[in-house]
Structure formats: structure tokens, C-alpha cells
Amino acid sequence: MTEATREATPDGMTAERVRHPEKAHRPDNPVQKRKPAWIRVKAPTSATYHETRRIMREHNLHTVCEEAACPNIGECWSKKHATMMILGSVCTRACSFCNVATGRPDLLDPHEPENVAQSVAKLGLSHVVITSVDRDDLADGGAGHFAETILRIRRASPGTTIEVLTPDFLRKKDAVETVVGARPDVFNHNLETVPRLYGEVRPGARYFASLRLLQQVKELDPSMFTKSGIMVGLGEGREEVLQLMDDLRAADVDFMTIGQYLQPTPKHHAVDRFVEPSEFEAYARFAYAKGFLMVSSSPLTRSSYFAGDDFARLRAARLRRLGGETVSETDALAAVPAAE
């Protein structure tokens, strides 16, 4: 079955647009209909969830929460946590795991940075995550738009800390410098999976180019927090994940996230297996032992899940390390006051 979305046409009518045209001809992959108990989440029903949704629509914004069909949307939006997605809603890549629409993107919306900033202010966010689709069609990959969005948020909501989750800016000269120069508090770029699986999972990207991007951020600004995440359950092996951790630490990445891959549609990459919670806990222990300041590893972990709380833990963990203490999983969790 081919997934489609409805969009407005210039004459005010609506038309169907195939969401993933590059996948339409592929045979369906089996979908595991019954998820284990540790994966299931409640449907969103709270008034705060609907208020968050209203603000997004009012400012004509896209969120990765909706576009990527995140399982945590009900919980996060009920707390007024939303990850803004800039540079439009259509991606120029064709990753086999991702539910974001692919194809030929629209022109950039010049009002988008200001609309994002106003939404951040209305929601009263203490921490915001800004991500985007890939825009290989743009000379700078959208780096200037990221920088402008950061600037507008600083003006509209000076107390908000800003985390960016960027594309790889592959072959986009000076793009990383542009975003780092805008001074986000956290620079996140996800490796997504182990290098062996890139050809089938992330075919438009290059594993070592992504690693180099993260390393370059630290070279440009050693004080900037860096972060990267992967999905498990795609067919990777344990030793491959441990090697990936070593690669991230070699690039001086501070924070790693690990979550379960969930298949959006039958046209997407199949789930190889559901990783048990105990395995996620083991991965966290390995990651802390390798020197990460922060690790979030659980079936429902996503890059932006509890990002604000995690940022507070990340800063506390750095202060503890600067004080000569060893950072462990217990230390990182204890560094944040309990919610009131």
C-alpha cells in the first residue's frame, strides 16, 4: 500500500502527494503487528497536547514529532515539549527507516525562523530542539536557515537553551561553521546505525562523513556539547554497536542516545528484532565506561525525548568531571533535582 498525504494546490483545491515515491515500487516488508509491552504507549488525549498542536498549526510549523510518527508525541506534547522541524517538510534523502516525506522540496519559507521563535516563546520552553529535513538542493544545505532560527529564538526567548539536530551537510562547504557560529547549546547529529548497514538504511549518507562533522564541531568550539544517536533492532550486532561508541568517543562526542527502531509502514526497513530493556541498560553501562558524559538508552529513547532534562544532566555531569569526579550512570541521574 502506498502512503499519501493531502496538500493544497495553487487554486485552493487539495491533491494527494505520494509521501515516499522512491519506496512505492518496493515489495512490502513484514510488519510485526504486536509490539512487546515495553514499547506500547497511550494515545494522546490531554488538553495540553491539543494546545501544543494548535500553536504549531497557528504558526504553520512542522514538527518531527508528527512527520516521523514519534511514539512519544502524546507524552511530550502534553508537557509542551515539541521538536520543531525547519527547512520545510519534504526531504531530499530516502532513508529506509524514516517516515518524513521525500521528494522535491518547496521553496524555503523566509518567515519560518521567526515563526519558530514565536512558538518557542508562546510555549514558554526552557529548552528547544530544532531539527530539519535534508536539503541537498540548497547551496549551504540549510545551514543559514538554522543560524537565523537560533538568532530569532535568542531574541524572542533569551532564557531558552537551544539544541540543534542537523543533517550531515554532505559536501556543503562552511555549513558546519555557520551553525556552530550561531552558538547553539547542543549540536546533535545522529549516526543512526552501524556502518555496515548504511547502504540499506541510510544510503544517501556516509558514516565517516557524519563522524567527521561531529569531530569538526568540537574543533571549532571545544566547549559546545555534542550529541549523537542510533537505533537498534535494524540488524546490527553488539560488537558493532560497541565499536560505534568508540568511534563517537574518538570524535569527543559528549552524549549518546540509543532507542528501538520502529517500522513506520510496510515499505520501510523491517524490524529485525525488539531489543529487551536489559540490553539497553547494558549498552548504557558500556557507554558510560567508555567516557560519555550522558547516555540515554531505552526502547522509547529518541534524540529529543526529555531533551531539556537531559541537557541539565549533561551540564551537571561536565561540572562533576571538571571537578575530578568519574561520571557514572547513577551520578548522571542524581545530578538533576526531582520534578515537583
Per DSSP, the residues of 148-172 read HHHHHHHHH-TT-EEEEE----TT-
pLDDT at 73: 58
Confidence of residue 323 (pLDDT cuts 50, 70, 90): confident
CA 171, 172, 177, 180 dihedral sign is negative
Average pLDDT, the chain: 84
Contact 175, 187 (CB under 8 A): no
- The model's confidence at residue 336, banded by pLDDT at 50, 70 and 90, is very low
- Joined together, the cell numbers standing for residue 133 give 529535513
Residue 125's pLDDT is 87
Q: What is the DSSP secondary-structure string of 63-128?
A: EHHHHTT-TTHHHHHTTT--EEEES-S-BS---TT--S-BSSPPPP-TTHHHHHHHHHHHHT-SEE
pLDDT at 338: 41
* Per-residue pLDDT tens digits for 270-304: 999 999 999 999 999 999 999 999 999 999 888 87
More confident residue, 26 or 43: 26
Of 20-34, 115-129, 237-251, the one with minimum mean pLDDT is 20-34
**Residue 92 is placed in which grid cell?**
531530499
What is the pLDDT at residue 324?
83
pTM of the model: 0.83
The pLDDT value recorded for residue 67 is 54
Flag whether pLDDT at 2 surpasses 50: no
Buried b / exposed e along 71-85 (16+ C-beta atoms within 10 A)? bbbbbbbbeebbbbb
| In the chain, % of residues over pLDDT 70 | 76
User: Average of pLDDT values for 302-322?
Assistant: 86
Q: Identify whether the C-beta of residue 52 lies closer than 8 Å to the C-beta of residue 83.
A: no
Neighbours of 120 (CB within 10 A): 25
Please determine, for residue 13, whether its predicted confidence score (pLDDT) is greater than 70.
no
Q: Check if the beta carbon of residue 291 is closer than 8 Å to that of residue 250.
A: no
In this predicted structure, the answer to whether residue 268 has a pLDDT above a threshold of 90 is no
Q: How far apart are CA 257 and CA 274, in angstroms?
A: 17
> Phi and psi dihedrals of 198, rounded to 5?
-60, -40
- The confidence band for 100, taking pLDDT boundaries of 50, 70 and 90, is confident
DSSP assignment of 237-295: -HHHHHHHHHHHHHTT--EEEEEE----STTSPPP--PPPHHHHHHHHHHHHHTT-SEE
pLDDT(12) > 80:
no
Q: pLDDT, tens digit, for every residue of 32-67?
A: 767 888 776 665 566 766 666 676 667 666 665 555
The pLDDT of residue 6 is above 70: no
Mean pLDDT of 96-109: 89
% of the chain exceeding 90 in pLDDT: 58
Q: How big is the CA angle at 283 (ends 278 and 286), to the nearest 5 degrees? A: 130
Average pLDDT over residues 147-172: 97
Instruction: Give 107: exposed, middle or buried? Use CB within 10 Å, 0-12, 13-18, 19+.
Output: exposed
Backbone dihedral region for residue 292 (phi beyond 0: left; psi -120 to 50: alpha; all else: beta): beta
Q: Which three cell numbers stand for residue 265?
A: 509502514
